[in-house]
Structures are given as structure tokens and as C-alpha cells.
């Protein structure tokens, strides 16, 4: 069945460091891929998404590219800030959009 595997945390970085959080997926067909972010005490909110191979999603300085050949959707940011401290979830939905599958989440802490 469909599934998402993401890098385990927690991850601790200094401010302005480069961030990569790995995400790989298993799916039949052509899924849509998402990164959600959960700030402390809040619900999940969409960070970025990509709906077809080679698409790049981007938002707030974060980027992820849909790589069908490696079944990956790694999240990157060139220079993290303290305000980026949160839990990040990779997710997919099959092209029917009926169900969503989430990774286990990666906790990021950015220290000044």
C-alpha cells in the first residue's frame, strides 16, 4: 500500500544553517506530495506541495522537488531561523485524493 518514510529526528540546527529533511514514498500511480508544518500548540498547516514529477513546491524559503525516479520529496531550506522550529510532516495522496498518508514527523529545533 501507499506509505511515506521520513527522516527521524529530532534535528537541532544553529540559526542560518542549511536544512534537509529526507522523505521517500511508496505509491501506485502518480501521487501528490505535501509537506505540512506543525508549530508548537497548533494544528498542521500546509507548507508546500507538488502534484507531478519534477514539480518544485516552495514557500517561506522552503523547497522540495518531486523526484519520481528516486521516489523522494526532500525538504530543504538554505538558512533556517529560530521561528522555523516545528514538527514537519511529509505526506502523500493518491491521484484519487481519497486518503492521505503521513510520515512520522521530524522535529526541528533551531538555536540562536
Partner 1 sequence: DADVTQTPRNRITKTGKRIMLECSQTKGHDRMYWYRQDPGLGLRLIYYSFDVKDINKGEISDGYSVSRQAQAKFSLSLESAIPNQTALYFCATSHPGLAHTELFFGEGSRLTVL
Q: Using an 8 Å Cβ cutoff, are 59 and 72 in contact?
A: no
Q: Using an 8 Å Cβ cutoff, are 101 and 3 in contact?
A: yes
User: Is there binding between residue 12 and partner 1 (CB under 8 A)?
Assistant: no
User: Is there binding between residue 28 and partner 1 (CB under 8 A)?
Assistant: no
Specify the stretch interacting with partner 1 by CB under 8 A; choose among 16-24, 63-71, 76-84, 93-101. Answer: 93-101
User: Is there binding between residue 97 and partner 1 (CB under 8 A)?
Assistant: yes
HSE, CB side, 13 Å, CA atoms: give it for residue 26: 4
Q: At 87, give phi and psi (nearest 5°).
A: -105, 135
Specify the stretch interacting with partner 1 by CB under 8 A; choose among 19-27, 40-48, 63-71, 77-85. Answer: 40-48
Nearer to partner 1 among residue 85 and residue 100 (C-beta): 100
> Beta strand 106-111 with 11-14: parallel, antiparallel or unpaired?
parallel
Specify the stretch interacting with partner 1 by CB under 8 A; choose among 17-25, 44-52, 58-66, 78-86. Answer: 44-52
Amino acid at each position: 500500500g501507499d506509505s511515506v518514510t521520513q527522516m527521524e529526528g529530532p534535528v537541532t540546527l544553529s540559526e542560518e544553517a542549511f536544512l534537509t529533511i529526507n522523505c521517500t514514498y511508496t505509491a501506485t500511480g502518480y501521487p501528490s506530495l505535501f509537506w505540512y508544518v506543525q508549530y508548537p500548540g497548533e494544528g498542521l498547516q500546509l507548507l508546500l506541495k507538488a502534484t507531478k514529477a519534477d514539480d518544485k513546491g516552495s514557500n517561506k524559503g522552503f523547497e522540495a522537488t518531486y523526484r519520481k525516479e528516486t521516489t523522494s520529496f526532500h525538504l530543504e531550506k538554505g538558512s533556517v531561523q529560530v521561528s522555523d522550529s516545528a514538527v514537519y510532516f511529509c505526506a502523500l495522496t493518491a491521484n484519487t485524493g481519497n486518503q492521505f498518508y503521513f510520515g512520522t514527523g521530524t522535529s526541528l529545533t533551531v538555536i540562536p
